[in-house]
Structure 1
Amino acid sequence: MELGRRHLLLGLAAVGAAGSAQTAPPGIRHPGDPTETIDLWPGPAPGMPATPPVETVDERSTDPAFPDRAVRGVVRPRMVVFRPATPNGAAVLVAPGGGYARIVIDKEGYEVARWLAARGYTVFVLFYRLPGDGWAAGPDVALSDAQRAMRLIRQRAGAYRLDPTRVAMMGFSAGGHLCGDLATRFDAMTYRAIDAADRLSARPMLAAPIYAVQSMSAPLAHPGSRALLVGAEASAAVERAHSNAANVTARTPPIFMAHAEDDATVPVDNTLEMRAACKRVGVPVETHLFTTGGHGFGLRRAAGKPVAIWPDLFVNWAASMKLA
């Protein structure tokens, strides 16, 4: 897409005006970490609990060469930006997992973002609010952040030299549930519009939920994610309202999924149920199942195994769908 000079200048102005006030990345820093961030909301995020959460970063690795940070209590939702050396005009919004209790930013965020950026994608890693922290939106709070993030990426497309129609989302585990939630409920009214960005579409061009939590109903539901998102005593109606497969329509964007059949945390039938829902209504769906790989393989834990091919399968499929 050829972006007009006025669109580009407006986008650059928006980034410049916001840049000086953006929330910094997590407190535990590592060499090579990006420093460019975009706050999702111009002031406090909507629906702040009476006792706001306190953002905490836990470093779970003892090897400085392989950081494994987990962020809890996000109070200033934001995106961390990975700019490619040679942009291909496409963007990917990445939602790391963490069971809706935390956000695992290295294994399912930064590592994937660097890999995609090396292939020309501009990547935005999403620090989303967690539903167990008491936000007014309840089970829709992370979806609010994902919707807002997609709209801001499109609003700033000129500044990042992006085609605003070519923006995808990828998510892992509980972040995969959020990815599926956005793909199926992108136009749900989860927050009150606050500026011009909210007039833009939140529908991703493509969505890639990877070893994703999908169902909120037993026996497929991941118990921890379910308890934090909808509550341990949620009714069948509430479970269904927040199960991705139940919300697939003909407007759902094309879907790419990868899952290991020996996943003991999130049963592979979550992916199979989502695939069946897409097939029923004619949504293009690419599904890759691996005999072994367990849960949370990302890039690091997939190395040297057949499952390591999943990122290449994604970019090849995405290219066939004209993302890049």
Structure 2
Amino acid sequence: MIDRRHAILGTLAAGLAAPVLAQGKVGGGAAPADPVETIELWPGAAPGMPATPPVEKVEERSREPGYHNRTVTGIVRPRLLVFRPARANGSALLVIPGGGYSLIAMDHEGHAVARRLAAQGWTVFVLLYRLPGDGWAAGPDVALSDAQRAMRLIRARAATYGIRPERVGVLGFSAGGHLCGDLATRFAAPTYAPVDAADRLDARPAIAAPIYAVQSMTLPMAHAGSRALLIGKDASPTLERAHSTALNVGAQTPPCFLVHAEDDGAVDVGNTLEFRAALKAAKVPVETHLFAEGGHGFSLTLPDSKPASRWLDLFTVWAGTHGLGQGAASPQRGG
């Protein structure tokens, strides 16, 4: 017999693997519990398919009833999971979950954050991106290809979602934070051949928020697991430099919001400090929040007694000062 948990997981896996869900609006004023639609990133097969394509797998790691902690591996059909608010505020965020480039932590760094932001009027697109260890032809740039394509598709469909094309930002966690930083610094890098009219649009995010992010690919600061999967365990210094976000910061890098806990035992806080220093040197606006406690991967799971639990509120206020979100002000320049 199939018990209730396995039945639920089977339904979830089928839903994640489905093509495009019917578009629909969320009513009532509450945030959607789950994405209301899915957008495939690529027409047909994703470019650079490996000879042996990966097999997508959704795993539920939670043992608590009613609480999901799903991970996704083997992404072969990269896509956006769309959380539409009851009343759009005109701004959108591409949310990129982490997982060390070995998996995607879909719930606590994806769905949970999307629900909170959608309740505030943001239109949120959670990215399920291809993983570099799966043998795609683009190699270390495969996830960046998906992020660039995602930004362009969101802008191409801005009218559909009631958002303004210039008000699309990106927020990412851990290895997803590396991808967030990669997009912020290498948005114009030619990582794939254009496939349609959407690829004529700009992939530069209006703002970027790498949260407890992997940034450097140089040991010992680099997160060893993410580095090995992205550029290889024995990567050359040239390859390390090419994929270290701080070394790609330029004048066109968008304003950034950085968060890290100093007791992070997985990703050295030096990653964030190095990225911040590069932003300051390039005169890119940056706000940095370092917390004494929080560890790694906390997302929205910390108790209210921990100061780091307030990072998302700080982010939304900051985003408003740069022209995004509820009560957005005119974008600021400098410092």
TM exceeding 0.5: yes
Structure 2 equivalent of residue 284 of structure 1 = 285
The letter for the 2-side match of 1:22 is V
Contact preservation (8 Å) 2:34, 2:83: no
Structure 1 equivalent of residue 152 of structure 2 = 151
Structure 2 equivalent of residue 101 of structure 1 = 102
Contact preservation (8 Å) 1:23, 1:76: no
Contact preservation (8 Å) 1:250, 1:281: yes
* Matched positions, count: 299
Deviation at 1:300, TM superposition (A): 1.5
Unaligned ranges ≥5, structure 2:
1-17, 23-31, 326-335
Structure 2 equivalent of residue 39 of structure 1 = 40
The letter for the 1-side match of 2:73 is R
Structure 2 equivalent of residue 270 of structure 1 = 271
Structure 2 equivalent of residue 87 of structure 1 = 88
Contact preservation (8 Å) 2:216, 2:244: yes
Structure 2 equivalent of residue 22 of structure 1 = 20
Distance in 1 separating the partners of 2:226 and 2:21: 27
| Alignment of structure 1 residues 174-213 onto 2, 5 Å | 174-213=175-214
Deviation at 1:302, TM superposition (A): 5.1
* Cα gap change, 1:23 to 1:134, in 2 (>3 Å): farther
The letter for the 1-side match of 2:244 is S
Deviation at 1:220, TM superposition (A): 1.0
* Cα gap change, 1:85 to 1:170, in 2 (>3 Å): same
Distance in 1 separating the partners of 2:258 and 2:180: 11
Structure 2 equivalent of residue 11 of structure 1 = none
Deviation at 1:66, TM superposition (A): 1.9
Q: Is 1:137 matched up with 2:138?
A: yes
Structure 1 equivalent of residue 70 of structure 2 = 69
Deviation at 1:170, TM superposition (A): 0.2
Contact preservation (8 Å) 2:262, 2:269: yes
| Alignment of structure 1 residues 211-226 onto 2, 5 Å | 211-226=212-227
Structure 1 equivalent of residue 11 of structure 2 = none
Deviation at 1:303, TM superposition (A): 4.2
Distance in 2 separating the partners of 1:65 and 1:50: 39
Give per-residue Cα distances to partners, 1:107-140, cap 9 Å, x unaligned.
1000000000011100000000000000000000
Distance in 2 separating the partners of 1:156 and 1:138: 28
TM-score of the superposition, structure 1-length normalised?
0.90
Distance in 1 separating the partners of 2:33 and 2:311: 25
The letter for the 1-side match of 2:142 is V
- 3-state DSSP of counterpart to 2:158: coil
Contact preservation (8 Å) 2:170, 2:180: yes
TM-score of the superposition, structure 2-length normalised?
0.87
Distance in 2 separating the partners of 1:214 and 1:201: 23
The letter for the 2-side match of 1:256 is F
Identity %: 67
Give per-residue Cα distances to partners, 1:145-202, cap 9 Å, x unaligned.
0000000000000000110000000000000000000000000000000100000000
Distance in 2 separating the partners of 1:64 and 1:259: 30
Structure 1 equivalent of residue 248 of structure 2 = 247
Deviates more, 1:195-204 or 1:302-311: 302-311
- 3-state DSSP of counterpart to 1:45: coil
Distance in 2 separating the partners of 1:274 and 1:263: 16
Deviation at 1:323, TM superposition (A): 1.2
Structure 1 equivalent of residue 4 of structure 2 = none
